Structure 1
Amino acid sequence: MQPVDNLHVLAFEPLTPPRALRERYPITEAAAQTVYETRESIKRIVRREDQRLLAVVGPCSIHDTGAALEYAGRLARLAGEMRDRIVIVMRAYFEKPRTTVGWRGLINDPHLDGSFDMNEGLRRARELLLRINDIGLPTATEMLDPISPQYITDLISLTAIGARTVESQTHRALASGLSMPVGYKNSTDGNVQVAVNAFLSARRAHSFLGIDQDGQSCVVRTTGNPDGMIILRGSSAGPNYDAATVVRTEQAMEAAGLLPAIMIDCSHANAGGDHTRQPHVWREVLRDHIASRNAVIGMMVESYLYEGKQPILADRSRLRYGVSVTDACVGWETTERMLIEAYEALKG
């Protein structure tokens, strides 16, 4: 008999069950309080019951947990000082969708060498999230894989479904079972309606294939997730953070029976792929929001210790500390200045 199955599979490598990793790095009372309080705050913000601005700032992706912790320490200080007007959440992105190929993030390839030591990647991600939440700073991430959430979601306060996966039935079903609010990005071609449809879908109950805490394959049955927002991230046609697009997005959400809640991604196509334009987008969106009190409830910024980006080098020791290896980020000084400007502008 000729072989007909798994013809292109090299190996099946067992993963540590989620329960084992959670027992190794159990959530602490302090971290649980951070997650609970922030989720509740975000729910009130998207329901328009809390007028504070939601600011999601941090690296495009995390590849160095030491640098990420230093960044978190700085951001936690600002978050504490500004909590009366701004809810600051740190971007902690561990999985990267690729248009073709490239480094797929800390969970998939923690050694940045194509070895795909995912057990180690999951361990590093959970340990880092625990340490960040322990200092009182909440975290946000993008959910890309339907298996990895079981390892880390108890330490996440906000998540996003990305522009490349917002039409995916798998990701809509996944979002329906998540325990935190979800942001749905417009597609890469600028289609906002698909994000609205994703939100509508995720509000409903779903059943899909997944794993439980013991790593057992199972049917996951969900109740639906009522809390979310649309994220405008620009498109192949250009930026979409302008007032007219915001109004059209509000109308599309209202027509679908959704309470309008919109986040503006200051990076990606809204900045034309130029990280130095993020402060410009930030200021324009903030100005329009204050002037019109529109449905914009928050903004997202790609930020790290130092500005720019760098290639992944064969000699890892030559990587520059605190510099992104994916999208270029604004540096800490710029980030701090942007947040201070917003805090002062929101005084009235």
Structure 2
Amino acid sequence: MSFSFIKKLPTPEDIRNEYPVNSAIQTLKEKRDQEIRDVFTGKSDKFLAIIGPCSADNEDAVCDYLLRLRKVQDKISDKVLIIPRVYTNKPRTTGEGYKGMVHQPDPEKKPNMLAGLVAIRKMHIRAIQESGFTCADEMLYPENYRYLSDLLSYVAVGARSVEDQQHRLTVSGMEVPAGMKNPTSGDFSVMLNSVTAAQGSHRFIYRGWEVETTGNPLAHTILRGAVNKHGEAIPNYHYEDLRLLWERYQEKNLHNPAVIIDTNHSNSNKQYEQQIRIAKEVLHSRLVDPELKTLVKGLMIESYIESGNQKIGGNHIYGKSITDPCLGWEDTEQLLYTIAEMC
């Protein structure tokens, strides 16, 4: 019934000083950040593919996957901008299960938060060095953001976190796009209130400091489907849902109206193969409606080397998700080419 204080962890500055980024990474990140920013501000008409494993559980497999993405990116760079998902924190609905590399650098071993903080930073640095991609991660713990803030080009706030004040205010101090998912209830007003808060300036307590932020004009929405009172999935990627979101955006005085469509989770009812069909439907909606073409900036897709998922332990299959099921590489590659063709 109490806390056991195991060890005091290094500050983000300590970890960043121990595992610094060089000038080449800094320059690459500045270039990537500007390219992505231009999509959200409307200066670029490229389409975003925020794509990758449900959870980044193995550094070698993740970097292998990113190198495959790089070959595809080079072929579709005139139409599509890929932001790999390298998700190191995983929310668990019941609190049970694998919580990501930050908790367990080795999923087969006990949690070790210090080793986890080092592991996620080293993996993100390696990902940039080898693939040339700066990546996306989920902000599950606002206090941890600065361990990776000099490496990430995109941040997502999950459906269970989007109503939390600390998440919203922390996003208001970010310099990169942050997607605020609709809550599991599906309430658009909650999601848009979160964007409104994140785009505003605030003064609050953060990591023991009184801080002040200037607001993040690149905060935007993510539609990930919802769940009704019976626990049944309710998709919200259809044309009518997108039109409703467009209308709700017009009622608000928000910067850079934008939405990313999450093709998995409650939109697919975690039927990962359906992500292909859902992606095509969203792209068709953009094609037939000029306003939606400006609103829908990209897709979020769960994908890995091998399709499906597996349990931790036993005969572990390299490049196969240990959390939610993902598209395999062959389907992923073809889908990315299809996205480029339809943009």
The interval holding the TM-score normalised by the smaller chain is over 0.9
Question: Which 10-residue stretch deviates more, 29-38 or 242-251?
Answer: 29-38
Is this contact kept in 2: 1:30–1:133, CA < 8 A? Answer: no
Deviation at 1:42, TM superposition (A): 2.0
Match in the other structure for 1:261: 258
Q: Alignment partner of 1:155: what SS?
A: coil
Q: Does 1:142 align with 2:133?
A: no
Match in the other structure for 2:14: 20
Counterpart of 1:186, as a letter, is N
Deviation at 1:113, TM superposition (A): 4.8
Match in the other structure for 1:74: 68
Deviation at 1:278, TM superposition (A): 0.6
Is this contact kept in 1: 2:199–2:219, CA < 8 A? Answer: no
Instruction: Give structure 1 regions of 4+ aligned residues with deviation exceeding 4 angstroms.
Output: none
Counterpart of 1:223, as a letter, is T
CA displacement 1:279-338 (0-9 Å, x = unmatched) = 01011111111222311110010000000011112x5xx221100011100001100000
Question: Which 10-residue stretch deviates more, 91-100 or 13-22?
Answer: 13-22
The one of 223, 241, 245 aligned to 2:214: 223
Is this contact kept in 1: 2:159–2:183, CA < 8 A? Answer: yes
The alignment's TM-score, normalised by the length of structure 2, stands at 0.93
Where do 1:194-209 residues align within 5 Å? Answer: 194-209=190-205
CA–CA distance in 1 between the matches of 2:164 and 2:206?
A: 15
The one of 284, 294, 297 aligned to 1:287: 284
Deviation at 1:239, TM superposition (A): 0.7
CA–CA distance in 1 between the matches of 2:329 and 2:192?
A: 33
The one of 240, 256, 261 aligned to 1:244: 240
Question: Which 10-residue stretch deviates more, 141-150 or 295-304?
Answer: 141-150
Q: Alignment partner of 1:159: what SS?
A: strand
| Runs of 5+ unmatched residues, structure 2 | 229-233
The one of 181, 187, 191 aligned to 1:185: 181
Is this contact kept in 2: 1:176–1:202, CA < 8 A? Answer: yes
CA–CA distance in 1 between the matches of 2:200 and 2:338?
A: 39
Q: Would the alpha carbon gap of residues 46 and 191 (structure 1) be closer, same or farther in structure 2, given more than 3 Å must change?
A: same
Match in the other structure for 1:4: none
Counterpart of 2:86, as a letter, is A
Deviation at 1:345, TM superposition (A): 2.4
The one of 40, 43, 53 aligned to 1:49: 43
CA–CA distance in 2 between the matches of 1:80 and 1:33?
A: 19
Q: Does 1:338 align with 2:332?
A: no
The one of 194, 210, 224 aligned to 1:233: 224
CA displacement 1:206-263 (0-9 Å, x = unmatched) = 233333xxxxx32232111111221110111411001111011111112111242111
CA–CA distance in 1 between the matches of 2:211 and 2:261?
A: 32
Is this contact kept in 1: 2:124–2:135, CA < 8 A? Answer: yes
Counterpart of 1:161, as a letter, is V
Q: Alignment partner of 2:48: what SS?
A: strand
Is this contact kept in 1: 2:171–2:219, CA < 8 A? Answer: no
Match in the other structure for 1:29: 23
Q: Alignment partner of 2:148: what SS?
A: helix
Q: Alignment partner of 1:147: what SS?
A: helix
Superposition RMSD in Å: 1.5
The one of 78, 81, 102 aligned to 1:84: 78
CA–CA distance in 2 between the matches of 1:207 and 1:113?
A: 41
Q: Alignment partner of 2:143: what SS?
A: coil
Is this contact kept in 2: 1:232–1:263, CA < 8 A? Answer: yes
Q: Alignment partner of 2:142: what SS?
A: coil
| Runs of 5+ unmatched residues, structure 1 | 1-6, 212-216
Is this contact kept in 2: 1:79–1:137, CA < 8 A? Answer: no
CA–CA distance in 2 between the matches of 1:80 and 1:133?
A: 15
Deviation at 1:114, TM superposition (A): 6.5
CA–CA distance in 2 between the matches of 1:236 and 1:174?
A: 27
CA–CA distance in 2 between the matches of 1:48 and 1:342?
A: 19
Deviation at 1:111, TM superposition (A): 2.5
Match in the other structure for 1:3: none
Deviation at 1:62, TM superposition (A): 0.8
Q: Does 1:100 align with 2:97?
A: no
CA–CA distance in 1 between the matches of 2:340 and 2:199?
A: 33
Is this contact kept in 2: 1:46–1:228, CA < 8 A? Answer: no
Counterpart of 1:141, as a letter, is D
CA–CA distance in 2 between the matches of 1:309 and 1:163?
A: 22
